[in-house]
Amino acid sequence: MKKFAVAAALSIAMCLSLQAQGIFVECESFTDKGGWVLDQQFMDEMGSPYLLAHGMGVPVKDASTTVDIPVAGVWNIYVRTYNWTSPWTKADGPGKFKVKVGKKTLKPVLGSTGNAWQWQSAGAVKLGAGPVTLALSDLTGLEGRCDAVYLSTEAVAPPDGGKALERFRRSALGLSDEPEVTETFDFVVVGAGISGMCAAVAAARQGLKVALVNDRPVLGGNNSSEIRVHLGGSIEVGPYPALGRMQREFGHSKMGNAQPAGNYEDGKKQSFIDGEPNIRLFAGYRAVAVSKEGTCIKSVTIRNIETSVEISLEATLFSDCTGDGTIGYLAGADYRYGREASSEFGESLAPEKADDFVMGASVQWYSGVTAKPSRFPVFDIGLNFNENSVQKVTMGEWTWETGMTHDMLGGFEYIRDYGLAVIYSNWSYLKNKLGLYPDRALEWMAYIAGKRESRRLMGDYIYKQDDIEKAVFHEDATFATTWSIDLHFPDPENSRYFPGEEFKTKTVHNRIYPAAVPYRCLYSRNVDNLFMAGRNISVTHVALGTTRVMRTCGMAGEVVGLAASVCKARGVLPRGVYRYCLADLQELMKKGAAKEGPLPDNQRFNEQKPLPTPRLLKPE
């Protein structure tokens, strides 16, 4: 615990020399975040979590912290920020804020110029030695953002980004090149969405010592109150009807996307994990590195998104439940991204030529009725909103979807920001141009975007359209997928006005018979101790259309957790379960991982009933 305390104290650190003195402050470490929110989604892109003024057009309360000034004198203030609307307009951006030092508000307006993450000067201020309050003062409530603040006796800013900034940051914060602590577990699960939660609990209930890592403070991924997508798919069907029953223990009971936060019952999910003594939850930690020995992962390094403390988690077995296949990618696992050509697997729903198209990410939102007429600031960044293209709605759920033709990994900040931009542009046009909804104001808008697709890690089998449509029997059948083959595509009407930059989607529900996914889709074919569960399992883009919904992902996690217990009991790796111990796994799947005794029958919504019975394969 002493190392943790020292590392936390270094979150605000001084870098001193005889010539100059500097204080580097990570904004995520501010002691009082005020109305700013912590956004860690783009750490892999821009290097760090940051604070976001997510006020939906209303300036948010100041974020503040205290820094200790070592010597009196004139100090130059720099902030690392980004003019987030710069991809679409050369005009000054809306994310404006200022810096306060003590009682003085510095004059420069920040965050509204430039076209990349960069250091901007906030001016200079004369300070005495001793503690002083440092604050970020939002001016608009329109997604201003700040990564770090640097105070220096020299008029020289730190490096703008990349490895140079990372080296500077680690040096300034006094961070070691190696993790502060190493902890050992039987099974490390990275990602605590529905699949990760189920994987962790299933393994823990079989006696494994489990680490569960989540880079947000709340559990549930897309089903959390931060994103608000309701659970979908059917549980307790297929060859092992006990699978999925455990989701009754934590699943929310009210249906609907983009509904009030309480509908998603975050506390129930937290209690589900807290009730397992064999699970150690690392909430607010993001996986940033992997070490290997041969073809196996030795450890995963995780970083606290507020303090930058790093911990190494060692284990015999790992499961990638990140959705993005992050652990697999860092470990060199084989993966796919985008759509396969129809000829590769004989898939009629696939395009003629392979491409990088993926299903998009949703930024959901809704407005609420106000007691008196409400205003919204004019938000116009040059997008093609007019009387024909504007969406005359008071809420937006899954169909508000962006990024299908963009990079869901290296370009995700752009994708999320476009989701914010179209909501603001649309709402501004409705309020300011058309005069609609005078008694409504934006009440909730996600800033954590809900992804559907990115990397898919390849296993010993790739599940495809033919497996689904024919409900093909596999000897290593596990959970059943029941959702339609549901592949989103740009809304043609939206494409008329926003070609290549659509933000509305449609789908066709190709109903299926219940089809059991092979166990071989749940472990990596070239990283020998890596499982995967969730939307990054070994399937084609077409097959992902059915396996990606959350109740189905949860059952995949449950199977992985049970398989991990077989690995430990029999001394094998994931492939060895298929080759030598499949009967052991099958016995566990017959029982499932749910608690014994009655459970509420609370998961009978958003099931999208499959076709009634599996059809038989015709003899050759």
Task: Give domain limits for the chain.
Answer: 2-173, 181-338+528-591, 361-445
Q: 530-532 and 310-320: which strand pairing?
A: parallel
Contact 427, 391 (CB under 8 A): no
What confidence tier does 502 reach under pLDDT thresholds 50, 70, 90?
very high
- Calculate mean pLDDT across residues 241-260: 98
The string of pLDDT tens digits covering residues 22-71 is: 999 999 999 999 999 999 999 999 999 999 999 999 999 999 999 999 99
Task: Map residue 118 onto helix, strand or coil.
Answer: strand
What confidence tier does 609 reach under pLDDT thresholds 50, 70, 90?
confident
Predicted confidence (pLDDT) at residue 5 exceeds the cutoff of 90: no
Task: Map residue 114 onto helix, strand or coil.
Answer: coil
Tokens 């697999």 -> residue = 328
Return the pLDDT at 613.
60
Return the pLDDT at 611.
79
Contact 312, 182 (CB under 8 A): yes
**Cα 546–chain centre separation:** 20
Contact 303, 286 (CB under 8 A): yes
Contact 361, 452 (CB under 8 A): yes
Q: Which fold has domain 2-173?
A: Jelly Rolls (2.60.120)
**Cα 492–chain centre separation:** 28
- Calculate mean pLDDT across residues 550-564: 99
What confidence tier does 18 reach under pLDDT thresholds 50, 70, 90?
very low
Of the candidates 422, 362, 369, the one whose C-alpha atom is nearest the C-alpha of residue 394 is 369
**Cα 313 from Cα 300, distance rounded (Å):** 5
Predicted confidence (pLDDT) at residue 616 exceeds the cutoff of 60: no
Question: 10 Å Cβ neighbour count for 10?
Answer: 17
Element (H, E) at 398: none
Position 477, amino acid: A
**Cα 444–chain centre separation:** 18
The string of pLDDT tens digits covering residues 316-362 is: 999 999 999 999 999 999 999 999 999 999 999 999 999 999 999 99
Cα angle for residues 338, 516, 541 (degrees, 5° grid): 5
Q: Which pTM was predicted? A: 0.95
**Cα 503 from Cα 507, distance rounded (Å):** 14
Alpha-carbon distance values, 228 to 111, 224, 310, 446, 454 (Å): 29, 6, 30, 8, 20
Predicted confidence (pLDDT) at residue 17 exceeds the cutoff of 60: no
**Cα 470 from Cα 73, distance rounded (Å):** 76
Return the pLDDT at 614.
53
| Tokens found for residue 34 | 């005020």
Return the pLDDT at 12.
44
The string of pLDDT tens digits covering residues 429-475 is: 999 999 999 999 999 999 999 999 999 999 999 999 999 999 999 99
Q: Which fold has domain 181-338+528-591?
A: FAD/NAD(P)-binding domain (3.50.50)
What confidence tier does 591 reach under pLDDT thresholds 50, 70, 90?
very high
Contacts of 136 (CB under 8 A, 6+ apart): 27, 30, 34, 36, 51, 53, 62, 63, 64, 97, 98, 99, 100, 146
DSSP state for residue 476 in the 8-state scheme: T
The string of pLDDT tens digits covering residues 136-184 is: 999 999 999 999 999 999 999 999 999 999 999 999 999 998 998 999 9
SS (H, E, C) 500-539: CCCCEEECCEECCCCEEEEHHHHECCCCCCEEECCCCCCE
**Within 13 A of 360's CA, how many CA atoms are on the CB side?**
31
Average pLDDT of the chain?
A: 95
Which residues, listed in sequence order, are joined to residue 335 by a DSSP beta bridge? 457
Tokens 């979807």 -> residue = 401
**Within 13 A of 580's CA, how many CA atoms are on the CB side?**
10
Residue 71 exposed, middle or buried by CB count within 10 Å (0-12, 13-18, 19+): exposed
- Calculate mean pLDDT across residues 542-557: 98
Terminal alpha carbon distance of the chain:
66
Contact 201, 593 (CB under 8 A): yes
Predicted confidence (pLDDT) at residue 3 exceeds the cutoff of 50: no
DSSP sequence for 299-354:
EEEEEETTT--EEEEEEEEEEE-SSS-HHHHHTT--EE-SBPPHHHHT-TTS-SS-
Residue 561 phi/psi, 5-degree rounding, is -60, -40
Position 46, amino acid: M
- CA Rg, the chain, in Å? 25
**Cα 295 from Cα 309, distance rounded (Å):** 28
The string of pLDDT tens digits covering residues 94-130 is: 999 999 999 999 999 999 999 999 999 999 999 999 9
SS (H, E, C) 156-205: CCCCCCHHHHHHHHHHHHCCCCCCCEEEEEEEEEECCEHHHHHHHHHHHC
